[in-house]
Amino acid sequence: MRAAGDSDKLFAGSIPEIYDAYLVPLIFEPYAADLASRLASRTFSNLLELAAGTGVVTRHLAAKLAASVSIVATDLNQPMLDRASAVGTARPVEWRQADALQLPFGDATFDAVVCQFGVMFFPDKARAFAEARRVLRPGGVFLFNVWDRLEENEFAATVTDALARMFPDNPPRFMARVPHGYHDRLAIERDLARAGFTHKPEIQTLTEHSYAATPRIPAMAYCQGTPLRNELEERAVDRLAEATDFAAAAIAARFGNDAVDGKIQALVISVEN
């Protein structure tokens, strides 16, 4: 059995495809558009994206930023980059496998570093932030977002609660532990300061709504399109479909049997180098 820390970061098998087809439109699109819009108002020549995943932010950046801005999009998981590259972007982007804790770029290389919902997965946040600062030019910006606490994100909370009832002796806690586990503003400020950022970060709460045509869509997104799937298969490899059905029933019980609408909430953090 893999250690929890290993499975929390594993996006392999069919996860990248399901993630991109179900989870991206469900919860990531509005925040990707927000990050790209914030950067589009700035003047710079090149940008580094960390934890690009299947490329939702990359696609928005490629569409909104000036053609003269070069974009390097990285992720630790090559299968996610493979999916991102296959989907493509409006203009050329450099896709590169890289560990955010040890970036393969020189000092003061980029004008901006952006990361959507990736820092929660970094095992050493301050070290990753220090790497982002190292590759930023003076005056550059580090822009990222993180999910707010689980209770503020209704579909994720409903799925987590349902699976705790299904596996009462060993409830899967991936969603609370990782995606929704790094939302304390003081902790974020402290880690940025430890990384060497001297400017006070700007932290904003951004609330959106998540829509799906059926309750099964968010159940598929979370149970089979995230590393939560690894937790479920480690508990009972033959019960993934049952767990997905159980989560879908819980969403239907709370939000209805037809189209569903749930609150999502995140923090957006911007800090100057």
pLDDT value for 19: 86
pLDDT value for 12: 44
Structural domain tally of the chain?
Answer: 1
CATH number of the domain where residue 60 is located: 3.40.50.150
Indicate whether this model's pTM tops 0.85: yes
Query: In which residue ranges of the chain is pLDDT below 50?
Result: 1-5, 7-12
pLDDT value for 6: 53
DSSP symbols for the chain: ---HHHHHT---TTHHHHIIIIIIIIIIHHHHHHHHHHHHTS--SEEEEES-TTSHHHHHHHHHS-TTSEEEEEES-HHHHHHHHHH--SS--EEEE-BTTB-SS-TT-EEEEEEES-GGG-SSHHHHHHHHHHHEEEEEEEEEEEE--GGGSHHHHHHHHHHHHHSTTS---HHHHTTTS---HHHHHHHHHHTT--SPPEEEEEEEEEEESSTHHHHHHHHHSSTHHHHHHHH-TT-HHHHHHHHHHHHHHHH-SSSEEEEEEEEEEEEE-
Integer CA distances (angstroms), 206 to 33, 42, 122, 186, 266, in order = 12, 20, 22, 18, 5
pLDDT value for 7: 45
Cα gap 163→191, rounded to integer Å: 32
Domain of 118 in residue numbering reads as 4-272
